[in-house]
Amino acid sequence: MKAVLSSEWLKLRSVTSTYHAVGAAALTVALGIAWTLYVCALADERGTLRAAAPEQGFLPLVQMSLAVLGVLAITSEYATGMIRTSLVTVPNRSTLFLAKAAIVGMTTFVAAHAILLLTYATSRQIASGRHLGFNEVSFSHDLPTLLASGMSVTALALVGLGLGAAMRSTAGAVMSVVTLLFVLPGIATYLPPPWNTRISTILLPSLVPQIAGQRLSSRLGDGFLAPWAALTVLLAYPLVALAIGYYQLKRKDA
């Protein structure tokens, strides 16, 4: 297993798409700095200002960028035919798929938390001393949200890996992730009550604040899952996607 993990890590870091995906996610730091400078200028004019924290406002960029990394970790092998070599080298498909999931999960977990923490630190440093809504609470208060945000990125990357294995299509898997992250939450708002609220609380964008213990409040009304329940739902997304991907990998020839 150790040799398979080393091989998968070598494959992941030897392709330029990995660096492109991580680089796109890392743009969050620059965008966070630009956003903070902008709202600081407004706060200096108005005296105080409520504004979205940049690590939360730009979280979808990190999620989508690293979800694409998860998709490409498997679909690029199908596109180039490298999957046949991988299966000859590691005939046990369970071991191969588990190793891919472990490497994608660890890589995106570390990258996501590093990017989010750096965005958080730089924005708070720039906003120090100014009366901004996101600068009025302590790091210990924000830590659960930061951790939940990083876990959501890893979950989406593994969803991308699972869907990529199932569909064997980069475009199809990426569109499926986009649907989960952006399309379904929009559709849920048009459902009749109370289903709009019930469905919204279990969709991906709503899980991060609930894991951090925050109550959802919007035009849909109040919705809330306990932190442990929200975390369970978040973990269910990659588990289901990986199970589907594994089934297809075992069932179909390369």
pLDDT tens-digit profile of 38-53? 888 877 776 666 777 8
User: In this predicted model, what pLDDT tens digit does every residue of 133-184 receive, in sequence order?
Assistant: 666 667 888 899 999 999 999 999 999 999 999 999 999 999 999 999 999 9
Task: Give me the DSSP letters along 20-31.
Answer: HHHHHHHHHHHH
From the list 231, 65, 67, the residue with the least C-alpha distance to 163 is 67
Q: How far is Cα 82 from Cα 75, in angstroms, rounded to an integer? A: 10
Instruction: Tell the residue number behind the tokens 């890590």, with chain if given.
Output: 9
pLDDT-derived band at 253 (thresholds 50, 70, 90) equals low
141 vs 215, residue with greater confidence: 141
pTM of the model: 0.91
Over 90: is that where the pLDDT of 198 sits? no
Instruction: Tell the residue number behind the tokens 């064997």, with chain if given.
Output: 168
From the list 71, 51, 75, the residue with the least C-alpha distance to 63 is 71
Q: How does strand 221-223 pair with strand 216-218? A: antiparallel
Q: Which residues pair with 217 in a beta bridge?
A: 222
pLDDT-derived band at 108 (thresholds 50, 70, 90) equals very high
Are the CB atoms for 146 and 58 separated by under 8 Å? no
Over 90: is that where the pLDDT of 91 sits? no
Mean per-residue pLDDT of the chain: 88
User: Which whole-number Å values give the CA distances from 67 to 21, 25, 147, in the listed order?
Assistant: 9, 10, 17
Over 90: is that where the pLDDT of 22 sits? yes
At 49 the three-state DSSP class reads: strand
Given this model, what pLDDT does residue 220 score? 42
Beta strands in the chain (DSSP E): 216-218, 221-223
